[in-house]
A and B are shown apart, each in its own frame.
Chain A
Amino acid sequence: MTEKPYEYLLLRHRQIPELDNLEIYRQNGGFEAFEKAVKTMQPAQVTEFVKASGLRGRGGAGFPTGLKWAFIDNNNWPHYVTANADESEPGTFKDREIMERNPYQFLEGVALCAYAIQAHHAYIYLRGEFWQIAARLDQHIAALHAAGLLGEKLFGSDYSLQIHTHLGAGAYICGEETAMLESMEGKLGQPRLRPPFPPSFGLYGKPTVVNNVETLTNVPLIIAHGPEWYRTIGTEKSPGPKIFCLSGRVVRPGNYELPLGTTFRELIYEHGGGILEGRPIKAIMAAGASSSLIIANDQALDTPMDYENVPSVGGSLGSASVIVLDDTVSIPWLINKTIHFFKHESCGKCTPCREGTYWMQHLTERVAYGHASQQDVALLYDVASQMRGKCLCALGEFSIEAVISGIDRFRPDFDQTVQAPPVT
């Protein structure tokens, strides 16, 4: 690695100390993009830029961001922006670092999105555990008001904007965008039927853009440097930088900002320092607890991490929360862990998820620790399969990924536990 050091675009605080100070952020070009947009660009032009950049949502679904903004219904007002800072997927911890260390770039992204859709109020929905981050963000927002970067008639235009924080209180499902909107409205965080989608029926029934923190943090870059520049990073279909959250049995877990399309091998072995104690790698979960288990063979390790290629090895990129498993990890134990999570977090609105996760938990518990039989494994597989395609939202659908792929791809682990259950 003798090339010039990587220049951070999202985790810029790693190179610029005290970037969470508005002065420092502005000295480094901060809020120029927003000022330029409000002064010189039509709102639709901002959306066009984002569309042209090819930016895709970093919250998990990878939906083209500009297209989402363009869907906003202009016959129904007011419009809202809601930033998704719920970050609760096991293995995901990137939005937190952005908000703690590079908050103004994120807030500038929120402001640009709001300007693009002409929203005058934007909300940041933070998981309740981010209490301190919310308090800090409130201070940053106050600083922006003081600096004339938020508030009434910005930069002498007619455009006004307020940004508010809203704290959740411990519910993974509130990361699902419609559950988040319900929660913001003071209701149970249960997903809504879709369609209609938030751009036509969102917060308070009004057209709303919901974007992930990291997604929005990309936007100032695009407006400042232009979509062509942005497209030089990453791949053709997955442009831009991405923060990969590396966790599990690796030497150096943490956030790694890399272009989309970097291989698993580079992330895990170069940046992450390889597997603890130099053990063999067994499997990879590329999208947190919601992912299927990718068998970590050479083919998988050499797969570029982007929205197109990860599916070819039986996974998906999601929010790029890469959990690494080595040969010490028993897959029955692991799925018991993930199912406990989903059972705990199922909102209970739809039958298959509510009952399926509960049932699976009894089975995984038995399979992992109890005296399970082969029939129990088969039944677990059946139960998971019979949830597939029937849930109201993706939580239920995600909950079976590790179970099904685990049984399909790591059958010997199950045979082993069934024959010789571990003593507990």
Chain B
Amino acid sequence: MLAEKYAQEIQTILAKYPTDQRRSAVMALIYLAQRDKMFVDRKDMAEIGEILGISATEVASIVGFYSLYYDQPGGRYRLQVCTDLPCALRGAEQFLQELCHRLNIQPGGTTSDGLITVEPVMCLAACDKAPMFQVQSGAGLEYFENQTVESALSLVNQLRADAARRRGRNDND
């Protein structure tokens, strides 16, 4: 239950908006719900609706409209390469192809360990630093600019190592 797990954060978010406009907090609450598993399910949507006094369908509409929300499980990390026009003019498409090739996946696919999804995205406002990508995870979003396939692969390795470490810790719990 989000309401219990993130009670404090929810209060902080709600405090930003007028008391009769709680609905404004829906986007932030969906990010919260996505934090652990990188997607939101029906239960999350119903609960967010309850917190905000709107219907689960209204929450779902928001999930569906915006591209940084996911209603299906995917990789824990989404490595999103900008291949929009300005980046494409500086080799972003080849970069994406090559990276996917090295990871043995198709663009949009997820690595066999289920950890990393690599996908093309629209302009990320970093057009002068192509090739670039962002990594989205439940914890947030980070930009990686002026990349090479090698630097991207070493990041992938680091993410894998992090995940393994965290799994190890959980196993020891």
User: A: which residues have CB within 8 A of B?
Assistant: 87-93, 95-96, 123, 127-132, 135, 164, 166-172, 183-189, 204, 245-249, 253-255, 289, 321, 323, 325, 329, 334, 337-338, 341, 344-345, 347
Contacts and interface: CB of A to CB of B under 8 A. Distances in A.
Contacts of B67: 169-171
B128 A92 contact: no
B67 to A, nearest CB: 3
Contact of B65 (A88, A189, A289): A189
Interface residues of B, number: 41
Contacts of B142: 132
Given A132-B143, A255-B128, A334 B85 contact: yes
B101 interface: no
Nearest to A91: B86
B26 A90 contact: no
Nearest to A135: B140
Given A186-B62, A188-B62, A164 B16 contact: yes
Among the interface residues A128, A169, A329, which one has the most CB atoms of the partner chain B within 10 A? A169
Interface in B1-58: 16-18, 21, 23-28, 30-31, 52, 54, 58
B89 interface: yes
Given A186-B58, A253-B128, 17 more contacts: A88-B123, A90-B122, A128-B68, A129-B68, A164-B16, A169-B69, A183-B27, A186-B23, A186-B25, A187-B23, A204-B18, A245-B127, A248-B89, A248-B90, A321-B127, A344-B122, A345-B122
B119 interface: no
Contacts of A90: 84-86, 122-123, 127
B85 A338 contact: yes
B141 interface: yes
A122 B126 CA distance: 26
Given A90-B85, A90-B86, A323-B89, A166 B141 contact: no
A132 B54 contact: no
B147 interface: no
Contact of B85 (A171, A172, A188, A289): A289
Given A169-B27, A171-B66, A171-B67, A337 B125 contact: no
Given A171-B66, A185-B24, A323-B86, A128 B127 contact: no
A185 to B, nearest CB: 6
5 contacts: A90-B122, A189-B65, A249-B89, A337-B88, A347-B65
Interface in B80-98: 84-86, 88-90
B68 A169 contact: yes
Among the interface residues A90, A130, A172, A249, which one has the most CB atoms of the partner chain B within 10 A? A90
